Amino acid sequence: MVPVSVEDGTDNGIYLVIGSFRSNQRAIKLQARHTDMDTAIMQARISGKSLYRVLAGPIGKSDLTAARRTLSKGGVRHSWAVRLCKATLTP
């Protein structure tokens, strides 16, 4: 993955959500299968319940197709793009 830098010097960019789980352990397992790219787990609260989303990136807009192709070869068939500030990700 190619890091994305914006004018203010922050690490904002496009991330691909490659998995969303109710269990943090399942998110950790998916993250461990994709050590060849930068990934992070972000906890989200939906209807009062926690979801753990595995994110890959940041990815440059021009690299999205190639990133999805790489993920598909690694078993991730579905992903969706989100724009985030890296500082909002949970380590």
Q: Give CA separation, 8 vs 11, 12, 68, 84, in Å.
A: 9, 9, 27, 14
pTM to 2 decimals?
Answer: 0.76
- Both tokens assigned to 51: 């979801």
pLDDT tens for 38-77 read 899 999 888 999 999 999 988 988 898 999 998 888 889 8
- Both tokens assigned to 54: 């595995």
pLDDT tens for 4-20 read 333 333 456 899 999 99
**Where does the chain have alpha helices with state H?**
24-33, 64-73
How many Cα atoms within 13 Å fall on the side-chain side of residue 48?
0
